[in-house]
Amino acid sequence: MLDIKFIRENPQIVKNNIEKKFQHSKIKLVDEVLDLDKKYRELKTKCDQIRGDRNRISKQIGALIGRGEKDKAQEIKASVKKMNLELETLEENERKLYQKIHKIMLSIPNIIDDSVPIGKDDSENVEIEKFGTPTIPEYEIPYHVDIMEKLSGIDLESARKTSGNGFYYLCGDIARLHSAILSYARDFMIDRGFTYFIPPYMIRSEVVDGVMSFDEMENMMYKIEGEDLYLIGTSEHSMIGKFINTFTDEEKLPMKYTSYSPCFRKEVGAHGLEERGVYRIHQFEKQEMVVICRPDQSKQYFSEMLKNTVDFFRSIEIPVRTLECCSGDLADLKVKSVDVEAWSPRQKKYFEVGSCSNLGDAQARRLKIRVRSKEKNYFAHTLNNTVVAPPRMLIAFLENNYTPNQTVKIPKPLQIYMGNKTELK
């Protein structure tokens, strides 16, 4: 969410930014919110004036009674009562105007970074760099579910009976591999100076409103019926929400966290959902990175977080590339975002396995996450990035480690988490 003062002083910059995101229908919201803001400030000034007059007049009542001028005191009491009635009406109008302004402000997108390429959708995202050599073996790589089934590691049919499409049972060595990857990711990030957290898996609506846009919420979040609770789509939601309505001393920044959680997503609009696959699913687990820092630090930590994910995948010998998200592919709260994609030898292409995002002060402004400074208090910057999110990541793992002997190699960093096994048979 932008600062209303920024919109007042830079309406054309805000409109140009909306155009860059190809959300032309939202341009009118800028003039609309400025008009409402003008009315709100005028009304607030009038309310403040009436409060001041009321307080000044009220002070006269005691003095009049003390001098025996009861009739005049009664007249002033009647006048104060009239002021209170008028103020009650004006304050209600003031509250309604504020709510209208706040609702519109939530729809106006954040100002994107100058480095973001301009494009309408994800088809215009721009490749930045490749890491590792993508290979296409001479032997056939089976579909990832077929590999899992040969290893007695997945049961989709039972999951379909209990829960429907988009769910799964992992078992045996595949389930162990899934947990091993998460354990390795946890330790990998702890070694890089991030504090490990396991957060709540449900959050209240005020936190949901603070961490994501309304469209994202509608397409992603599962609501708990009859309660003000939502299942998280990523641990970033509850980790950022942890700091709602807080002040943090500047000396404590940056705060660097790595958090584990199950994640739950509707995946609305995911028409390409493979019924047999684990690429788009309603339930998965993830190791996440979250950083809360000073505004002047956010670019530095964005680069650091992105490097962490690339280094993690390269440490287990999976080729990856980074892809800059264009303006039209950025969620409204994001300033900049880069996807990490892993190589699929079977499909002969890269696919997304994580996303690194800088949200500027958008989430902090919504949730009132403030930094206490000797000079001036300010809103923090928040960033998040995926370390790893199995079981989707297992697709890349199985394909890149599949051998002509129909076994799956286990890279050295994972062997300690797999009982020192070197391969799956």
Name the DSSP class of 325.
P
Average pLDDT estimate for 210-224:
86
**Residue 389, domain member (yes or no):** yes
Question: What six digits make up the tokens of 348?
Answer: 């002969």
Phi/psi of residue 154, each to 5°?
-150, 145
Q: What one-letter code names the amino acid at 10?
A: N
Question: Which structural domain, as residue segments, surrounds residue 179?
Answer: 122-424
**Residue 116, domain member (yes or no):** no
Kindly list the distances between the CA atom of residue 359 and the CA atoms of 24, 62, 69, 213, 387, in Å, as whole numbers in the listed order.
22, 55, 63, 12, 18
pLDDT tier at 269, thresholds 50, 70, 90: low
Mean pLDDT of the chain: 93
**Residue 126, domain member (yes or no):** yes
Give the pLDDT of residue 82.
Answer: 86
**Residue 114, domain member (yes or no):** no
Give one word for 360, left, alpha or beta, with left for phi > 0 and alpha for psi -120 to 50: left
Based on the fold, state whether residues 405 and 269 are members of the same structural domain. Answer: yes
**Residue 115, domain member (yes or no):** no
Please say which residue of 105, 138, 164 terminates a domain.
105
Q: Is 414 exposed, middle or buried (0-12, 13-18, 19+ CB in 10 A)?
A: buried
131 has which bridge partners?
Answer: 320
Task: Find out whether 231 and 221 touch, Cβ atoms under 8 Å.
Answer: yes
Based on the fold, state whether residues 235 and 377 are members of the same structural domain. Answer: yes
Based on the fold, state whether residues 293 and 400 are members of the same structural domain. Answer: yes
The whole-angstrom separation of Cα 80 and Cα 85 is 9
Based on the fold, state whether residues 226 and 375 are members of the same structural domain. Answer: yes
Average pLDDT estimate for 34-47:
95
pTM over 0.85: yes
Based on the fold, state whether residues 345 and 272 are members of the same structural domain. Answer: yes
pLDDT tier at 60, thresholds 50, 70, 90: confident
The whole-angstrom separation of Cα 312 and Cα 189 is 9
Q: What percent of the chain has pLDDT above 90?
A: 84
Based on the fold, state whether residues 185 and 64 are members of the same structural domain. Answer: no
**Residue 113, domain member (yes or no):** no
User: Which DSSP string corresponds to 344-375?
Assistant: ETTTTEEEEEEEEEE-TTHHHHHHTEEEE-SS
Please say which residue of 77, 105, 133 terminates a domain.
105
Pairing of strands 255-264, 283-293: antiparallel
Average pLDDT estimate for 222-229:
95
pLDDT higher than 60, residue 274: no
Query: CATH code at 323?
Result: 3.30.930.10
Based on the fold, state whether residues 63 and 208 are members of the same structural domain. Answer: no
pLDDT higher than 90, residue 29: yes
Q: Which of 69-73, 206-210, 240-244 has the lowest mean pLDDT?
A: 69-73
**Residue 110, domain member (yes or no):** no
Count CB-CB contacts under 10 A for residue 102.
Answer: 14
Query: CATH code at 26?
Result: 1.10.287.40
Residue of 107, 88, 101, 102 whose CA lies nearest to 39: 101
Based on the fold, state whether residues 73 and 179 are members of the same structural domain. Answer: no
Based on the fold, state whether residues 174 and 50 are members of the same structural domain. Answer: no
Give the pLDDT of residue 94.
Answer: 94
The whole-angstrom separation of Cα 345 and Cα 324 is 22
Based on the fold, state whether residues 87 and 162 are members of the same structural domain. Answer: no
Task: Find out whether 267 and 166 touch, Cβ atoms under 8 Å.
Answer: yes
The tally of domains found in the chain comes to 2
pLDDT tens digits, residue range 372-387?
A: 999 999 999 999 999 9
Based on the fold, state whether residues 43 and 128 are members of the same structural domain. Answer: no
pLDDT higher than 70, residue 120: yes
Question: What six digits make up the tokens of 322?
Answer: 């980074």
Q: Is 283 exposed, middle or buried (0-12, 13-18, 19+ CB in 10 A)?
A: middle
Give the pLDDT of residue 79.
Answer: 84
pLDDT tens digits, residue range 327-340?
A: 999 999 999 999 99
pLDDT higher than 50, residue 271: no
Average pLDDT estimate for 357-366:
97
* DSSP three-state, residue 206: helix
Q: Which are the contacts of 71, defined by CB distance < 8 A and separation ≥ 6?
A: none
Handedness of CA 326, 329, 335, 336 (dihedral sign): negative
Residue of 4, 66, 82, 15 whose CA lies nearest to 37: 4
Task: Find out whether 413 and 152 touch, Cβ atoms under 8 Å.
Answer: no
The whole-angstrom separation of Cα 49 and Cα 217 is 41
Please say which residue of 78, 105, 132 terminates a domain.
105
Average pLDDT estimate for 402-412:
96
pLDDT higher than 80, residue 70: no
pLDDT tens digits, residue range 230-259?
A: 999 999 999 999 999 999 999 999 999 999
Task: Find out whether 44 and 32 touch, Cβ atoms under 8 Å.
Answer: no
The whole-angstrom separation of Cα 372 and Cα 378 is 7
Kindly list the distances between the CA atom of residue 142 and the CA atoms of 128, 277, 332, 333, 353, in Å, as whole numbers in the listed order.
30, 12, 39, 39, 20
Based on the fold, state whether residues 246 and 335 are members of the same structural domain. Answer: yes
Give the pLDDT of residue 53.
Answer: 85
Name the DSSP class of 256.
E
